[in-house]
Amino acid sequence: MNLAKKMLVDINSCFATIEQQANPLLRGKEVVVAAYEGQGGCVLAASREAKKLGIKTGWRLDDAKKICPNLVVLTPDTEKYRFINRKLRKILLSFCPKVQTKSIDEFFLDFEGINDNLIEVGLNIKKEIKKNLGEWITVSIGIGPNLFLAKIASNLKKPDGLVEINENNFLEIYKNLKLTDLHGINKKTAYKLELNGVNNPQDFYQKSRQELRSIFRSICGDYWYFRLRGIEVDDKERLLKKSFSAIFSLKNPAKNKADLAGIIFQLCLKVGKRCNKQKMGIRAVAWWAGGENISISGKLHKKEEMINGWEIFKEIYPEIPEFKDKIKKVVVIIYDLQKKVWQKNIFEEKEKFRQRSEIAEKINNKYGMGTIFPGTVLASKKIPDFIGFGNIE
Amino acid sequence: MRQKINALVSVMMDFNHRQNKVMPTQIQWNNRDFKIEKIGMHYQFYEGKKLFHIFSVTSGGMFFKLRLNTDNLFWNLEEVTDELG
């Protein structure tokens, strides 16, 4: 097994702890941050105190309130969380030159080629966080030979943990874990593994590469073989993503197409912006909107690439049919991404639209999303700023 | 109880050149003075080219969220919460 040179830093109960840090009166209380305050709102983060009562991320607020009637419900303050994210990144960069932001609350540090004692580094990181971010914010730090084991290590002790998985203890740790404790193994995959005689991570480790390849019937079997042996297969240095998606659940359902326009537009901007960061053009878009009694969707494939959210919106909005039922959730997915090749469009109208939309995009980036928007969305609902889970870079 | 206020407020501020620390020390709101006891968090963000500083502070069992607009140096009281959350 490789030396444990990878570290994962994870802010405990991120949004809720940050709120408790900002407002000392909330410390020691059951606090959740929810997408919105209504009964159907969804818990995005629960404080340690709320977690002790069993309240988890993803719960509906009315269920959480049944368990804890005094629950304090807050809505997300995205600027605050982004500030903490940037500040923590700065702290981590003072310890390690290679820091990857995995999500709003997770960072991956690669100490390859650096001879520091990582347990000591971990303790110093915690001290710096206390000093610079606040006494209430804690992190769980996992150290391992690869990102996968560092992630497992960070989950072993929460909150405020510091655990190392290395060649001396990994078998013992595998013995005490369930298959679903492994990041990337869901119930369905665990069932598939159990059918093949793999009942726990220790059995999983003992399977040969050939056996795993035949269980997964793909290269994923090889990846698992390497992951469990501490060989890095997940740190692909920000491998270019093949698709992006954005989803939004509406507090007040949209009752007609015009109502939905603003939300679709902002979701298009969001995916377009993420795609632009990796300098890719978009060839295909799919969308879905649905509620209790309605589900409408569509997709389109373009020969010529779309360059930003404005173009995506321009292409998909006319495709959306009129509807009368209540729409509660909207998803926009872009895929078939191609390396962007700048080429002037020979059709003047299209070229002008591109130039205009790129300028509008720049203005929106500076003055906030929604400063400039198409007239189509004038009468529609707007979505508040939100932070998506998963990769945010 | 939590209450959104969004009103201008009088704030006393202290800059300590030895410690390089700037902090609001007192708020005057609703004809009452609130001496700031603790700063939970201080952060800043841009809205366009305007830089805002947010101070989350407590005083006598009350929580105040203050916003300083660095464009005109006006203070805004954004939110007040009492001990009941």
- Are A152 and A173 a contacting pair, CB within 8 Å? yes
Asked if residue A55 belongs to a domain, the reply is: yes
pLDDT on residue B85? 54
Verify that A220 and A83 share a domain, yes or no. no
Residue of A48, A107, A37, A109 lying closest to A76 (CA atoms): A37
Tokens representing residue A363 in the block:
């203005």
Asked if residue A382 belongs to a domain, the reply is: no
Verify that A16 and A119 share a domain, yes or no. yes
Cis peptide leading into A374, omega within 30 of 0? Answer: no
Indicate the residue among A188, A222, A239 that finishes a domain: A239
Asked if residue A393 belongs to a domain, the reply is: no
Q: How far A250 CA sits from the closest chain B CA (Å)? A: 22
Nearest CA in chain A to B37: A24
Verify that A267 and A316 share a domain, yes or no. yes
User: How many beta-carbon contacts under 8 Å exist across A and B?
Assistant: 49
Asked if residue A32 belongs to a domain, the reply is: yes
Q: How far A51 CA sits from the closest chain B CA (Å)? A: 18
pLDDT on residue A392? 42
Verify that A179 and A316 share a domain, yes or no. no
Averaged pLDDT score across all residues of chain A:
86
The domain that contains A88 carries what CATH number? 3.30.70.270
Whether A49 is a known active-site residue: answer no
Q: Length of chain B, please? A: 85
Look up residue A33 and give its amino acid.
Answer: V
- Are A339 and A280 a contacting pair, CB within 8 Å? yes
The whole-model pTM stands at: 0.77
pLDDT on residue A393? 41
In this prediction, residue A2 has a pLDDT band, given cuts at 50, 70 and 90, of: confident
Verify that A121 and A100 share a domain, yes or no. yes
Verify that A173 and A145 share a domain, yes or no. no
pLDDT tens for A264-317 read 888 888 888 888 877 788 889 999 998 888 889 998 888 778 888 888 888 888
B48 to chain A: which residues are within 8 Å by CB? 366-368, 371
Verify that A193 and A149 share a domain, yes or no. no
Which structural domain, as residue segments, surrounds residue A150?
A: 1-167
Verify that A4 and A108 share a domain, yes or no. yes
Q: Do A82 and B48 touch (CB under 8 A)?
A: no
Q: Do B63 and A25 touch (CB under 8 A)?
A: yes
Verify that A89 and A11 share a domain, yes or no. yes
Q: Which residue has the tokens 């209540």?
A: A326
Verify that A188 and A221 share a domain, yes or no. yes
Task: Please state the domain count of chain A.
Answer: 3
Verify that A146 and A193 share a domain, yes or no. no
Q: Which residue has the tokens 């998803």?
A: A331
Can you spell out the DSSP letters for A31-77?
EEEESSSSTT-BEEEE-HHHHHTT--TT-BHHHHHHH-TT-EEE---
In this prediction, residue A139 has a pLDDT band, given cuts at 50, 70 and 90, of: very high
In whole angstroms, what is the distance from residue A142 CA to residue A161 CA?
A: 8
Bridge-based pairing state of the strands A72-74 and A31-34: parallel
Angular region, A338: left φ>0, alpha ψ -120 to 50, beta rest: beta
Verify that A9 and A123 share a domain, yes or no. yes
The domain that contains A339 carries what CATH number? 3.30.1490.100
Q: What ipTM score was computed for the predicted complex, to two decimals?
A: 0.90
Q: Do B43 and A79 touch (CB under 8 A)?
A: yes
- Are A271 and A332 a contacting pair, CB within 8 Å? yes
Asked if residue A229 belongs to a domain, the reply is: yes
CB atoms within 10 A of CB A7: 28
Nearest CA in chain A to B83: A25
Q: Do B41 and A21 touch (CB under 8 A)?
A: yes
Asked if residue A31 belongs to a domain, the reply is: yes
